[in-house]
Amino acid sequence: MDYAICPKLENAMGVLGQRWTGLIIYQLMAGPKRFCHLESSMGVSGRVLSERLKTLEKEGIVKREVYPETPVRIEYMLTDKGRAMETFINELQKWAEAWSEVPQKV
């Protein structure tokens, strides 16, 4: 196997392993969304959503587009890198559906 790929894989999985990150990507696969739309449809706090979006922007998975309208419109969307995740997320989903248990919340 190729050991050099491991830090990249671990980094990718570390990002995706954070709560809400996968769901944000899912939502954006359907098309660009505004902050308030994501916030209300996911039931996540604005503070956490903002943090996750920043991480995803830093990773080059999500981009933030500002439309200079009145009032200004800001949308979040997947980059090419983000859209390229669809295949493995679908495979991961199949695996999780077949094998995973929902963790108990303690």
User: Which positions lie near a second copy, rule CB under 8 A?
Assistant: 1, 3, 5-23, 26-27, 30, 60, 81, 84-85, 87-89, 91-103
Task: Give every strand in the sheet of 62-67, ordered side by side.
Answer: 33-34, 73-78, 62-67
Shortest Cβ 67–a second copy spacing (Å) = 26
Shortest Cβ 71–a second copy spacing (Å) = 29
Sign of the torsion angle spanned by Cα atoms 4, 58, 28, 49: positive
Query: Which residue lies nearer to a second copy by CB, 69 or 101?
Result: 101
Shortest Cβ 88–a second copy spacing (Å) = 4
Shortest Cβ 24–a second copy spacing (Å) = 11
Query: Which residue lies nearer to a second copy by CB, 68 or 103?
Result: 103
Task: Report the C-alpha gap between 48 and 54 in whole angstroms.
Answer: 10
Q: Which residue do the tokens 């080059």 mark?
A: 60
Query: Which residue lies nearer to a second copy by CB, 65 or 91?
Result: 91
**Burial readout 4-16 (b: 16 or more C-beta within 10 A, e: otherwise):** eeeeeeeeeeebb
